[in-house]
Amino acid sequence: EQATSVDSVPLKSGFDVKSFPINGTRSKTLEELAEKWDQGFKFAPIRESQVSRAMTRRYFNDLDSYAESDIVIVGAGSCGLSTAYMLGKARPDLKIAIIEASVSPGGGAWLGGQLFSAMVMRKPADAFLTDLGVPFEDEGDFVVVKHAALFTSTLLSKVLSFPNIKLFNATAVEDLITRSNGDGTLRIAGVVTNWTLVTMHHDDQSCMDPNTINAPIVISTTGHDGPFGAFCVKRLVSMQQIEKLGGMRGLDMNTAEDAIVKRTREIVPGLIVGGMELSEVDGANRMGPTFGAMALSGVKAAEEALKVFDE
């Protein structure tokens, strides 16, 4: 049988935009698109190198610009993104880099728990949702967002719209930059990064040195221990800046959420820790699938960071 050539596939004549009313009215741009189709539809021309340059020029400009940042947030889970949202809103003058090991930012906040959809937040974290513009159902002492992905996608879209925030995803923080205070203690002065795929292959490939970002404040929100989790606080132990980790304790929603928000703080000079990474430092309980503490720990981490810049 002969292979079908793309030119021989009969084209459906035109987009029937009239069947896609937007807010009850037809979209002007879609109507224009339909007219173009009638006149012989064709994409605007492009050369492959233009696509390449459109992406790489921007990325390398960002690498260049954010090599000196004001704040680096490590981990784009619910806490890291909440931190970024507060900082982006409060201080458009600060340059904020978010480093996320995964291709897809959002951490554990795409589902509510055990792969269920709804996301629970205990009051008073509903204030964060209201500020963000995420609708919820009020159940008295707690509220429910109909899908965790609605929270995370809204938060992400707001964070990514801030002109002073750059998300570098698929990039892992694989060490911290340190400065000696001269008395055996250190100050954190930035992060050491690599493509996550490279970070994962240090055992079987040699000589894949990392890259760096200098910043006076690093906010670590890498979650509880796991293949990537609790990264910065584990490194603080191996650098002998904290003696040992308390280790995350069992689940107790009532104590866990308060503890995480209250204890969000600068652990060593230059390094603020928020979200579930903190439970590993302090030996705090986990809360399981209730996300209010992640949002409010983000608010607190942002406040702690701004103290440095407001001084």
Q: Which residues bind ligand AHZ (CB under 6 A)?
A: 74-80, 99-102, 107-109, 172-173, 221-224, 228-229, 231, 275-276, 286-288, 291, 294
Residue 259 CA: distances (Å) to CA of 148, 220, 255, 281, 297? 23, 17, 6, 12, 10
Nearer to ligand AHZ, 41 or 212 (CB): 212
Nearer to ligand AHZ, 125 or 189 (CB): 125
How far is it, in rounded angstroms, from Cα 270 to Cα 27?
A: 50
CB 129 within 8 A of CB 136: yes
Nearer to ligand AHZ, 119 or 186 (CB): 119
The least distance separating ligand AHZ from the CB of residue 204, rounded to whole angstroms, comes to: 19
The least distance separating ligand AHZ from the CB of residue 276, rounded to whole angstroms, comes to: 4
The least distance separating ligand AHZ from the CB of residue 18, rounded to whole angstroms, comes to: 43
Please, which residues have CB within 8 angstroms of residue 217's CB and are 6 or more apart in sequence?
Answer: 70, 71, 72, 270, 272, 305, 308, 309
Nearer to ligand AHZ, 15 or 289 (CB): 289
Residue nearest to ligand AHZ (CB): 77
How far is it, in rounded angstroms, from Cα 144 to Cα 138?
A: 7
Nearer to ligand AHZ, 27 or 254 (CB): 254
The least distance separating ligand AHZ from the CB of residue 212, rounded to whole angstroms, comes to: 14
Nearer to ligand AHZ, 259 or 294 (CB): 294
How far is it, in rounded angstroms, from Cα 149 to Cα 81?
A: 13
The least distance separating ligand AHZ from the CB of residue 28, rounded to whole angstroms, comes to: 39
How far is it, in rounded angstroms, from Cα 119 to Cα 149?
A: 9
Sign of the four-CA dihedral 264, 270, 276, 277 = negative
The least distance separating ligand AHZ from the CB of residue 311, rounded to whole angstroms, comes to: 27
227-262 burial: b if 16+ Cβ within 10 Å, else e:
ebbbbbbbbbeeeebeeebeebeeeebeebbbbbbe
